[in-house]
Amino acid sequence: MGAQGGDSHGPAGHHGMEIGAPGKAADVTRTIDVTMHDNYYKPEQITVKAGETIRFKITNKGEFLHEFGLGTAVMHKAHQKEMMKMWEHGMIEADRINREKMMMDHGDGRGMKHDDPNSILLEPGKSGEVIWKFSKPVDLEFACNIPGHYESGMMGPIKFK
């Protein structure tokens, strides 16, 4: 899939401050359990307050590899392109992370390791957590950017109270 690149994004690609920041465990005021299935989440939407730090406890109850990522629709779109590359390189497969390939240098100098603090990638049966401090209200979504999953509905809105 080679959509035309080089569009009108402009130089500033970092939305970090808008969407909040990685949270500290000591600041967590609330835990939200999220389960991942093929291909949807429970709950279907999440409500937060500006300024609160939440621990998302994520469990993959599906049979496929899934991601829980926080971001704007634009960020998810960009991440989907990265995930497609990881898929093409065999770094991620339908039901597993290929750690050997994940560790290999793909020659483009920028490791494609999946280690963003706003996202977690989990194999079937695995659990993990993302701790996030939300700042101001923005249009946020939690989403799975594994090829085909977002399109099939594996995403939900984060609403601000």
Give the footprint of Cu ion on this chain (CB under 5 A). 66, 144, 146, 149, 154
Alpha helices, H only, 2-140: 16-19, 73-88, 99-103
- Per-residue tokens: 104: 């290999």
Q: For residues 23 and 102, which CB has a smaller minimum distance to Cu ion in the complex?
A: 102
Q: How many whole angstroms separate alpha carbon 23 and alpha carbon 132? A: 4
Q: How many whole angstroms separate alpha carbon 121 and alpha carbon 75? A: 16
Q: Smallest gap, in angstroms, from Cβ of residue 66 to Cu ion?
A: 4
Q: For residues 52 and 141, which CB has a smaller minimum distance to Cu ion in the complex?
A: 141
Among 118, 160, 153, residue whose Cα is nearest residue 139: 160
Q: Smallest gap, in angstroms, from Cβ of residue 47 to Cu ion?
A: 22
Q: For residues 65 and 140, which CB has a smaller minimum distance to Cu ion in the complex?
A: 65
Closest CB to Cu ion: residue number? 144
Q: Smallest gap, in angstroms, from Cβ of residue 92 to Cu ion?
A: 10
Q: For residues 39 and 53, which CB has a smaller minimum distance to Cu ion in the complex?
A: 39
SS3 147: coil
Q: Smallest gap, in angstroms, from Cβ of residue 49 to Cu ion?
A: 27
CA 89 to each of CA 6, 100, 102: distance values in angstroms, whole numbers, following the listed order: 22, 11, 9
Q: For residues 53 and 60, which CB has a smaller minimum distance to Cu ion in the complex?
A: 60
* Contact indicator for 76, 145 with CB cutoff of 8 Å: yes
Q: Smallest gap, in angstroms, from Cβ of residue 83 to Cu ion?
A: 10
Peptide bond preceding 147 in cis form (omega within 30 of 0): no
